[in-house]
Amino acid sequence: MLHTAADLRDKLQAQLGTFPLFNYWGPKTSIKSSKWIADASKITDNLYNPTLTLIYLPHLDYNLQRFGPSDPRVAKDLQEIDAVAGDLISFYEAKGAKVMVLSEYGISDVNQPVHLNRVLREKGYISVRIERDTELLDMAMSEAFAVADHQIAHVYVKDQAKIAEVKQLLQSVDGVEEVLAGAERDKYKLAHERCGELVVVAKANAWFTYYFWLDDRKAPDYARMVDIHKKPGFDPVEMFADPKIKFLLPKVAGKVLKKKLGFRMVMNIIPLDATLIKGSHGRIQEDKNEWPLLLSNTKAPLPQELQAVDVFDVILQHLQAPNPTQRKSAVAV
């Protein structure tokens, strides 16, 4: 019998309610989203008995980026996710599954946001267009622009003849550790067809914003919203509500009512203060205690260190390894 994603959604929502999206990302993030995902995974397993289950528990992404891993407030998050993950592991082990626990990355303390697109704009490489008195990044007309992702940025340069000068400019930016071009990008196995002409790596205490405007009054509407698909780069500041807003909850309620009445509404409650972020990732951390981990409940030996691209082979080996119970492998991420 063919099962569709819509069928599964309906079955899960019938038992668990609608996925708590506002607890998954934004100022209201909480353990609720990870708990929902864990419970949904158990229901799915009971329904379909899949061969391989990949489960993403996002909880530690939140306050580790908000406050940084050194902040004592993170202890509560560790306890919360430990309870959820422990219950999930026990569930699968009771069914004879081979369980792996993988952290996608480790998060380090940071204190310096770096605005690469503002640097490029000040030197005339970036073009913007005006809509409703706000600025939007015009990638097609820009000579160079950066797509920022935490501590890594891909910089796309239209004219090949300008790559060297853009590289020199970015190398001089405070907070930048290295700028890689051409074959240099193979240092991190990144020289593929979708890679930027330049790859920029932040220093250990720094991270890259997507900000391209020079005047906050001209920032686009989406800058003050949770709107991950419109922003030309990752924006962890979406996890904060603007502390300058008084009576936040009544303001949000008023905006929701306005939308229901059919009026144009902008949920502009996100601050434009990148210094709020105290944790980031992407570069290879100098302290190995901050590296991600891979754990397994099988007796198969694991290497002390491995490259991220080798995780696929480890998962495949576990999946193919003999199992006396003839059960699946479950991978909790």
| 55 pLDDT more than 90 | yes
Reference 237, options 62, 9, 24; nearest CA is 62
331 confidence band (pLDDT: 50, 70, 90): low
Q: State the pLDDT confidence band at 24, using cuts at 50, 70 and 90.
A: very high
One DSSP character per residue, 94-153 reads HTT-EEEEE-S---EE--EEE-HHHHHHHTT---EEEETTEEEE-TTT-SEEEEEETTEE
pTM of the model: 0.89
**For residue 1, pLDDT beyond 90:** no
* Gap between the Cα atoms of 276 and 66, Å rounded: 7
Token readout for 303 is 């290497």
Q: Considering only residues 128 and 258, tell me which one the structure prediction assigns the higher pLDDT.
A: 128
SS3 294: strand
DSSP run (H or E) holding 90: helix 74-94
Which CA distances in Å does 155 have to 151, 173, 188, 287, 323? 13, 14, 15, 27, 47
Model confidence pLDDT, tens digit, residues 201-253: 999 999 999 999 999 999 999 999 999 899 999 999 999 998 887 766 666 66
> What's the pLDDT tens digit per position in 154-194?
999 999 999 999 999 999 999 999 999 999 999 988 989 99
Q: How confident is the model at residue 60 (pLDDT cuts 50, 70, 90)?
A: very high
What sign for the dihedral angle of Cα 103, 105, 111, 117? negative
Q: Which of 31-45, 231-245, 294-308 has maximum average pLDDT?
A: 31-45
Residue with the larger pLDDT of the pair 280 and 300: 280
